[in-house]
Chain A
């Protein structure tokens, strides 16, 4: 995705990262619930320089019909990046990467959504990445949870997500694009804070068993920060200024 600079300092002697953050500091996160007129639920998130829009439809009839399940509703997720969202134009057709991310986000949301209440129906989640800057799957999952809640779909919990990682032999929170490209490890985590369950977890990069455990812990703690912002976004839409 470009933005590579071999001379860049990922972590300076004062423990400050390439974008000025501390090791345990997430990027600026802004979440807005609603915003789309036609979708049953929607959300917009700015997560650092990521800009992602999510629309939810359903529960509604399943097409094609053979996909429907008589015992439960089904969740369908499409994660899609706009051609203009990255440095070099991206082919608009879904790539293998996007198909995999769609699948892991779907499986991260399924434990949270009470699909058994709506047999023979589908809930469709459409994720559109307008601008990407590292960590899009976490930002997308975070926004998708808010959009599902905004659609009024019964949920057991919301899934909050953020990546932990390792740069300059140090475990960090919220890996940005530069850190993903030049760092040592990237571990996206999706977590349901009330149910204390990890529903999305991936890793690429080498970690010792101790670093592995620390990374998961740092990620889970980060998810709790994101969770508060998700709740605040819903409160702002439904209870005015969020005081309630």
Chain B
């Protein structure tokens, strides 16, 4: 995806030319995300799952919930971990093997957005203090690539968590014991929404597609919560932003995030 070719250079000049006229290659407005489709409970064996398409980027997230040992000095809190992986079938340039810096950054930024929003109330995920807690693992796999994996993975993980049903465990004979037939929702405190913006020339565009992603000078991913507060941010790419642009991106992320949050809520309602 980072390989530059003559074709990419031509596409970039076309994208920039269109932006000078206020237009985008796929006809969207500058602050308009692509169409989002969310199918929840796509993987019934998971405790929660979602298959999300953001334009032609497609991500599947499965949530697994199981007892785990707490982290040292975090004995009064459950565990939440979110990962992301690019499958080799998602793009011809993706190879098998350990993840490179791009994928490591992706996974960490998606995890951070959800974690820092305190979406999952981990204090309610304790089976026996200091001994056993509930672990919630949201694993994203990218199955088709067309740019902006940050948001696609974040929406998939959020939708999957919203649709999750957690089993219940009691502490019996020094071990967590499953209570049959007592599923409950995962404790949700807020719905985080990440909005990624690309900078091409001096233009800021929301949710860059694959061609735009390859043409970007810089990008910024901002996650906001249900109260309209900003809870995580990551700048990337080989250019900078002015102070004015950073402020504007903050405003855009809260505004666009609110509309996407409604879609995530609708998907949650559809899953019940």
Q: B-contacting residues of A (Cβ < 8 Å)?
A: 4, 96-97, 99-100, 102-104, 107, 110-111, 187, 192, 195-209, 212-213, 216-217, 220
Contacts and interface: CB of A to CB of B under 8 A. Distances in A.
Nearest to A95: B104
Nearest to B102: A103
B230 A209 contact: yes
B238 interface: yes
A202 B101 contact: no
B160 to A, nearest CB: 22
A202 B225 CA distance: 16
Binding site secondary structure of chain B: mixed
A121 B234 CA distance: 29
Nearest to A186: B116
Contact of B250 (A192, A197, A209): A209
Contact of B232 (A100, A103, A197, A203): A203
B220 interface: yes
B241 interface: yes
Interface residues of B, number: 36
Given A198-B235, A198-B240, A100 B105 contact: yes
A198 B242 CA distance: 6
B233 A196 contact: no
A184 to B, nearest CB: 10
Contact of A209 (B116, B220, B241, B251): B251
25 contacts: A96-B108, A100-B101, A100-B105, A100-B108, A103-B104, A104-B105, A104-B234, A104-B235, A107-B236, A111-B240, A192-B240, A198-B241, A198-B246, A199-B239, A201-B220, A201-B233, A201-B246, A202-B233, A203-B233, A204-B232, A206-B117, A207-B230, A208-B229, A209-B254, A213-B250
Contacts of B107: 96
A107 B220 CA distance: 12
Contact of A206 (B104, B230, B246): B230
A203 B250 CA distance: 12
B75 interface: no
B234 A198 contact: no
Interface of B: 73, 101-102, 104-105, 107-108, 112, 115-118, 218, 220, 225, 228-243, 246-247, 250-251, 254
A107 B105 CA distance: 12
B116 A196 contact: no
A119 B102 CA distance: 23
Nearest to B219: A107
Contacts of A220: 243
A217 B233 contact: no
A143 B246 CA distance: 24
B243 A198 contact: yes
B250 A111 contact: no
B240 A212 contact: no
B240 A206 contact: no
B240 A209 contact: no
A212 B230 contact: yes
B250 A212 contact: yes
Contacts of B112: 204
A158 B8 CA distance: 30
A213 B247 contact: yes
Contacts of B101: 99-100, 102-103
A187 B102 CA distance: 21
Nearest to B112: A204
